[in-house]
């Protein structure tokens, strides 16, 4: 038994990982990621983002993400698809274009339609809108918001619902895991979509957290329940737990193990939580040190593929679930 098979035994849909084609020629990595007992779901870490899938207006490139999707399909693993409307990793024709609400809306709808139609039936879920909020709960000043106002959110979800009616449609963001202005903002997004009559099925909690600063299992579960009460499912979509400074001591690694248990445990505690995805399972490919130099060692496995105390603790938690 491994992380995924135990999650399924506990009544959840998956324990998954982000992965990417640049990991495919690493045999040690592949042996773990394609072991369906461990990982039952893949999220393409970068290859479904707008700059990759539509680098030039109207010209779509799916080569890379297709390889991730095919690997998942041939292993009988689910795919969470990521992401459609996001301010980051945009091609310059979008980020530097001169737009009116009408012209940008047409480009956004065409993008969503083409990408989702290509993957129709293959995605358990899509992160339709990603990171629309500032930490104070106001809308982020993306090209979408500054041009279209909050309307870009229901426009995105409506386009998604018609392109692939079988995919669960998610709003996905970070720093939503506790009671905060940002979580309040996400509640408002769910309500805004429901008021507009647009379909939203889920809220994704990225859970890029820091060792020793992770909320308790109870607080995490209370937040998940708050969203579940709005009538959506919830999931941890990008979990990792970085050490604030390196090297990590044995005590730090034990704290990291307790923090991973709090997060995964909170998903077990809330029926509407369908699964947990880690944002890479090995420090070898974690995004953290590239973005936050000096932080890291955030994953369940070391760079050399040794299981950390965090892995053992999550396994033990799931064995008892
Ligand atoms: O592909 C180029 C490569 O050609 C070039 O040589 C290299 C040099 O820097 O850069 C490569 O692109 C990098 C890309 O990852 C692919 O590896 C970018 O610089 C780098 O910025 C990019 O980082 C990604 C980041 O999103 C960008 O926003 C991370 O891998 C990815 O893990 C991260 O994922 C995001 C989620 O999508 C949304 N939530 C937050 C999460 C972490 O930031």
Q: One digit per residue, pLDDT tens: the chain, 321 residues? A: 999 999 999 999 999 999 999 999 999 999 999 999 999 999 999 999 999 999 999 999 999 999 999 999 999 999 999 999 999 999 999 999 999 999 999 999 999 999 999 999 999 999 999 999 999 999 999 999 999 999 999 999 999 999 999 999 999 999 999 999 999 999 999 999 999 999 999 999 999 999 999 999 999 999 999 999 999 999 999 999 999 999 999 999 999 999 999 999 999 999 999 999 999 999 999 999 999 999 999 999 999 999 999 999 999 999 998
Domain that includes residue 156, residue range: 3-319
How far away, in angstroms, is 86 Cα from ligand 1 center?
14
* Binding site membership of 191 for ligand 1 (Cβ less than 6 Å): no
How many structural domains compose the chain?
A: 1
Contact in structure between 5 and 39 (CB atoms under 8 Å)? no
Phi-psi region of 170 (alpha: psi -120 to 50; beta: other; left: phi over 0): beta
How many angstroms does the Cα of residue 58 sit away from the middle of ligand 1? 23
For position 25, which CATH number holds?
3.20.20.80
Q: 131: how many CB neighbours lie within 10 A of its CB? A: 19
Best of 23, 45, 88 for a ligand 1 pocket test (most atoms within 8 Å of beta carbon)? 45
Whether the ipTM is more than 0.90: the answer is yes
Q: Is the CB of 206 under 6 A from ligand 1?
A: yes
- What is the rounded CA–CA span in Å between residue 281 and residue 233? 24
Distance CA 239, CA 11 (A): 20
Question: Which atom of ligand 1 is nearest to 18's Cα?
Answer: 32
CA 227 to ligand 1 center in whole angstroms: 29
SS3 114: helix
Could you give the residue numbers annotated as active site? Answer: 131, 238
């Amino acid at each position: 038994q491994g992380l995924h098979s135990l999650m399924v035994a506990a009544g959840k849909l998956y324990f998954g990982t982000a992965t990417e084609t640049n990991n495919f020629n690493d045999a040690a990595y592949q042996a773990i990621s394609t072991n369906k007992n461990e990982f039952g779901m893949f999220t393409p870490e970068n290859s479904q983002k707008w700059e990759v899938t539509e680098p030039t207006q109207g010209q779509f490139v799916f080569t890379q993400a297709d390889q991730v999707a095919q690997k998942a399909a041939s292993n009988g693993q689910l795919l969470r698809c990521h992401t459609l409307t996001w301010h980051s990793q945009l091609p310059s024709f979008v980020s530097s274009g001169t737009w009116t609400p009408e012209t940008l809306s047409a480009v956004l709808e065409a993008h969503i339609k083409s990408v989702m139609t290509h993957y129709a039936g293959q995605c358990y879920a899509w992160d339709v809108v990603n990171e629309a909020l500032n930490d104070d709960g106001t809308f982020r000043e993306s090209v979408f918001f500054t041009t279209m106002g909050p309307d870009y959110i229901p426009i995105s979800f409506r386009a998604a619902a018609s392109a692939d009616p079988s995919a669960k449609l998610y709003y996905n963001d970070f720093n939503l895991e506790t009671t905060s202005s940002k979580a309040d903002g996400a509640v408002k997004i769910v309500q805004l979509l429901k008021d507009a009559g647009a379909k939203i099925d889920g809220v994704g909690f990225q859970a890029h957290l820091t060792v020793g600063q992770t909320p308790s299992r109870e607080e995490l579960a209370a937040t998940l329940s708050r969203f579940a009460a709005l009538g959506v499912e919830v999931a941890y979509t990008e979990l990792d737990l970085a050490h604030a400074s390196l090297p990590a001591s044995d005590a730090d690694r034990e704290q990291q193990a307790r923090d991973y248990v709090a997060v995964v445990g909170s998903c077990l505690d809330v029926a509407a939580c369908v699964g947990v995805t880690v944002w890479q399972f090995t420090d070898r490919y974690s995004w953290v040190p590239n973005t936050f130099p000096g932080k890291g060692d955030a994953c369940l496995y070391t760079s050399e593929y040794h299981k950390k105390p965090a892995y053992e603790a999550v396994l033990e938690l799931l064995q008892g679930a």
